[in-house]
Structure 1
Amino acid sequence: MATRSSLSVDPRAETKGQKLPMVALLALATAVFITSLTETLPAGLLPAMRADLMVSESAMGQSVTVYAIGTALTALPLTAATAGWRRKRLLLTAMAGFALANTVTAVSTYYPLTMMARFVAGVAAGLAWAMLPGYARRMAPVHLQGKAIAIAMAGIPIALSLGVPAGTLLGEALSWQTAFLVMTMLTVVLLAWITATVPDYPGQRPENRTPTLRTLGVPGVAPVLLVTLIFVLAHTILYTYIATFLDRVGLGDSTGLVLLVFGVTCLLSIWIVGAHIHRRLRVLTIASALLIAVAAAVLAVRADSPALIYAAVVLWGLGWGGAPTLLQTAVGDAGGESADAAQAMLVTLWNAAMAGGAAAGGLLLDLLGPPSFPWSALVLLMPALVVVITARAHGFPTRRAAMTTDRRLTPPDGNTPISTSASDR
């Protein structure tokens, strides 16, 4: 390892006063917002879309599933195929894919064409999600990398808590087609924003690439991926059918308010994680699992109390909001030279868990009813917590700061130094 005196400093990371490039990071947050909202928007527009496309509600609901399938199937091969692309070019390509897919969705009157557009949107999401955490991290000084990722990931709860209700209201007031066209216009604005403000970085050189499957053998990657799979599966079972669960306990009319509380506490969680992740990734991940587990336990045993249900939702939001940042940071740290491949694996498992969680929730609903949702989440979270606690050396190490500080090396071609501690290759 190079000594401190021989290290080169990335001038793009060492900005004046080591401040974060907020305008560029907010552009990435908007990209995350668009990817999340594009995936979930049909949920709020389902009846109108079903009627216009003349299919059943369950068939129209598959527009969310096919998006996740598109991401899960293509994230790994496309990330490998585009590893050498310059990062800005790749980001612009992915976001242009969203503009195309949402435009086709808006104008289509043919169900198979709509589903093809949704699949293309999922493919674009796979490209974007595999690179966005590393992109955000690459723009920041080492000690602010966690905060940079948290800012970029803030687009998720904003999309879920504000974007979906706003899109639903827009669809009801005008049309569901208008809602998707607004997404296209927002994406066009974002393309100009990225072009003007987001810095560019080189892709990974062929000699530095690790075969994707070999990445699983990198110490720490497998535990993080396993925790990701369980976390998302548990969360999706409960979140996908939260309206059904609330209706069962007499709060069906308050679903919007419950989701708003969840979204606001998710934003608070992201802020807390961003402020402390650099030195407390392990503690925050354990706390995240515990908070969601406690929330599930409260929903399981005291669903008769509206006050306790809201308290549980607050704990759930506090535990879940920062989870994407924690898991993406952990897999980036563990992946090292193979960070992009590790991120692509995380994206694949994330979407597979979303599809699996929705399917599992449907089976639970038919077999055991809504009360089974929080119990299932609680049972799933127990092994995830065990993995986080036991992965002390790699994955969720006790001394992360020593892994990430002062490890910027000058590449052989003498160009701008790049960090070896993150997914920024």
Structure 2
Amino acid sequence: MATTDTTSAARTRGLPLPALLALTTAVFVTSLTETLPAGLLPAMSGDLAVSEAAAGQAVTVYAVGTALTAIPLSAATAGWRRKRLLLTAMAGFAVANTVTAVSAHYALTMAARFLAGVAAGLAWALLAGYARRLVPAPLQGRAVAVVMTGVPVALSVGVPAGTFLGGALGWRTAFALMTAVAVVLLGWIALLVPDRPGQEPGRRVPTARVLAVPGVAPVLFVTLVLVLAHTVLYAYIATFLDRFGLGGATDLVLLVFGGASLVSIWVVGAHIDRRLRALTVASTLLIGGAAALLAGFADSQVLVYAAAALWGLGWGGAPTLLQTAVADAGGEQADAAQAMLVTLWNAAMAGGGAVGGALLGLFGARAFPWSVLVLLLPVLAVVVGARVHGFPARRSGA
């Protein structure tokens, strides 16, 4: 009996990796579907008989679909069982990527991309909370970290691989492959991911009231401004580097950033259950350090690579930190809080592109790292100030 009890305790302490890796793959599909057009724009624009700028709206339309639908769809499906909802979202990706792969018409392609964004809104509002429900409270942060690994893998491996496949076999093949991954994932989820119930009707509150829950508003503010700061620089990194004669090194700079992001996720996963507040402060300071290096020493290739490493170390674990913080603060309304975070995240990404374009036109590429530093000041102030609710020194249940 003692041996049985010990084995049971060990299983309770361990992470259900087959289930969590299925959720990681769902994050990978979501992230790669969003960013894949970036490496395929010339071929897409040629096939669809539109300009590259028009083809680039495939990314914008996706983000709009997510931002517009994440909150209302999350509220409408709050009572759905989690597996059913996740399967629906992944089926949405399969349909959207299939239509994108075969479409010969620009309007139909944009409609498919909007559908993919809607599926992403469902998925992003669901995945972190689902991962938390699969493990005991002391392992929830680590479970979310495992699932969020799909983001840097998609950006650092998936996008270059998709771009290569698009060049070798055609851009439609890259989207068809995404459909194949989504179909395999549907079976994986059906077989190996445990189901969990949705929210009981009596416990739901209007989405607007979620903002009144202590700690939710500070986390959402930090999310909005931190993602805005990151996107202002990330969206124009090639332009910034080209300004200092390093345009040819953009791929290597992003590779360093991606590798450091993976390290960041590992560190955050190992310590988030005990040090969420300290890690969030460190993340903000690391991104600030990277911006300071780029602001003062962008003409030094060595220091640019150092900045990319600091940036990746600060940014890689940020999605895990913010989703864990908002879920902790939201409590029983965690799913609604997650939906609000997803909406603000996508709004900040869209806003980052717009703000970056304005800065480039008014002040030139040198303004990018300085704008990051300015935006990080209120982020750091809110994180430090929200020591009771939002970013507490010790997580409840950890």
TM-score by length of structure 1 reads 0.91
RMSD: 1.1
State how far apart, in whole Å, the 2-side matches of 1:195 and 1:131 are: 16
Counterpart of 1:318 in structure 2 is 313
What amino acid is the match of 2:71? L
Equivalent residue for 1:404?
397
Alignment of 1:131-170 (within 5 A): 131-170=126-165
Contact 1:210 1:337 in 2 (8 A): no
Q: Does 1:87 align with 2:68?
A: no
Question: By how many angstroms is 1:399 displaced?
Answer: 2.4
Distance (Å, rounded) in 2 between the aligned partners of 1:389 and 1:279:
16
**Partner of 1:307 in structure 2?**
302
The within-5 A match list for 1:270-349 is: 270-349=265-344
User: Aligned equivalents of 1:121 and 1:138: distance in 2?
Assistant: 25
| Alignment correspondent of 2:101 | 106
Asked whether 1:247 is paired with 2:251, we answer no
Match status 1:120 vs 2:81 = no
**Which one-letter code corresponds to 1:358 in the other structure?**
G
Give the aligned partner of residue 3 of structure 1: none
Match of 1:359 among 354, 357, 361: 354
Structure 1 runs of 4+ off > 4 angstroms?
Answer: none
Q: Which moved more, 1:156-165 or 1:238-247?
A: 238-247
Q: Of 61, 85, 106, which aligns to 2:56?
A: 61
What amino acid maps onto 1:276 in structure 2? H
SS where residue 50 of structure 2 aligns?
Answer: coil
Q: Which runs of 5+ in 1 are unaligned?
A: 1-12, 406-425
Q: Please name the residue that 1:264 is paired with.
A: 259
Count of residues in Structure 1 that have an aligned counterpart in Structure 2? 391
Question: How many Å apart are 1:17 and its aligned residue?
Answer: 5.2
Find out whether 1:370 has 2:368 as its counterpart: no
Once the two structures are TM-superposed, the CA of residue 279 in structure 1 deviates from its matched residue by 0.9
User: In the alignment, which residue of structure 2 is the partner of 1:31?
Assistant: 26
**2:45 maps to which of 44, 50, 54:** 50
Which structure's residues are more often helix, by fraction? 2
Q: Give the CA deviation at 1:371.
A: 1.2
Contact 1:131 1:340 in 2 (8 A): yes
Q: Specify the SS of the correspondent of 2:167.
A: helix
**Shift of residue 378, structure 1, vs aligned partner:** 1.1
Task: Provide the C-alpha distance between the structure 1 equivalents of 2:75 and 2:295, rounded to a whole number of angstroms.
Answer: 43
Checking the alignment, whether the CA contact within 8 Å between 2:71 and 2:340 is kept in structure 1 is: yes
Tell me the alpha carbon deviations over residues 120-156 of structure 1, each in whole angstroms, 9 at most, x when there is no partner: 0000000000010011111112211111100000000
Indicate conservation of the 8 Å contact 2:12/2:136, yes or no: no
> SS in structure 2 opposite 1:201?
coil
Alignment partner, residue 419 of structure 1: none
Q: Contact between 1:25 and 1:148, CA under 8 Å: does it hold in 2?
A: yes
Partner AA of 2:372 in structure 1 = A
What does the per-residue CA deviation read over 1:168-225, in whole Å, with 9 as the maximum and x for residues that have no partner? 0000011000000000001101111111100000111100111100000000000000
User: Normalising by the residue count of structure 2, what TM-score does the alignment of the two structures yield?
Assistant: 0.97
**Partner residue, 1:18:** 13
Q: One-letter code of the match for 2:31?
A: S
Question: Could you tell me which residue of structure 2 aligns to residue 40 of structure 1?
Answer: 35
Asked if 2 retains the 8 angstrom alpha-carbon contact of 1:137 and 1:146, the reply is yes
Q: Which residue of 2 aligns with 1:172?
A: 167
- Give the Cα separation in 2 of the matches to 1:15 and 1:255: 45
**Post-superposition offset of 1:15:** 6.3
The alignment partner of 2:194 has SS state of: coil
- Determine if contact 2:276/2:394 at 8 Å carries over to the other structure: no
Distance in 1 (alpha carbons) for counterparts of 2:244 and 2:154: 26
Give the letter for the 2:397 counterpart.
T
Q: Distance in 1 between matches of 2:138 and 2:201?
A: 29
Counterpart for residue 199 of structure 1: 194
Counterpart secondary structure, 1:217? coil
